[in-house]
Amino acid sequence: MGNDKKASEGGSVKALPTYCTVGGCGKKADKSTFCGQHFLWFKEGLINRKGEKPRDFDRKYHAFTMKQKKAA
């Protein structure tokens, strides 16, 4: 809960993987080691820093999608 991680501004770290580390994603990593979508998941606590899903991922994902609908 509460992973309020601020994106470091002005950083130009290029030693990161090119592709999203979430298994089966394969998209280009835009933010940190995630693609835009999975970075959002990480921020929301759906996946950990390694891109792994928790046991209760389904439940979290459901809550996340509900939240997204409300925010839209």
For binding to Zn ion (CB under 5 A), which residues are involved? Answer: 20, 22, 25, 27, 35, 38
In angstroms, give the least distance from the CB of 21 to Zn ion.
8
Cβ 40 to Zn ion, closest distance in Å? 10
Partner residues linked to 34 by β-bridges: 31
Shortest distance, position 59 Cβ to Zn ion, whole Å:
20
What's the count of helices (H) and strands (E) in the chain, helices before strands?
A: 2, 0
Hey, what are 69's tokens? 């609908």
30 vs 56 by CB, closer to Zn ion = 30
The whole-angstrom separation of Cα 33 and Cα 30 is 7
